[in-house]
Amino acid sequence: KGLWNYKCARPDKDCANYVRTVLGSLVNMAEAISEEELQYRLTNPNGEQWNNHMKRMRRSLLEQQHK
């Protein structure tokens, strides 16, 4: 646990990625954006409202569950 596991050799590369590339990849994995969120943000002019819309939808779902 907590160790790196090699998945496959990269014969197309002769040196490691820059630190910035590695850190960017880690940030992307931590954000764990879903396909639905990505599609919403790219196709909706109010894409930045994703979190607010999701909060409302979760609240609505809970309200319906308690009826």
> pTM for this one?
0.48
User: What pLDDT digit, counting tens, does each position of 40-63 carry?
Assistant: 888 988 888 888 999 999 999 999
* DSSP for 26-63, written as a single string: HHHHHH---HHHHHHHHH-TTGGGHHHHHHHHHHHHHH
pLDDT at res. 1 = 60
Contact indicator for 50, 41 with CB cutoff of 8 Å: yes
Residue with tokens 């992307």: 28
Average pLDDT over residues 13-34: 86
Q: State yes or no: pLDDT of 5 exceeds 80.
A: no
d(CA 9, CA 61): 46
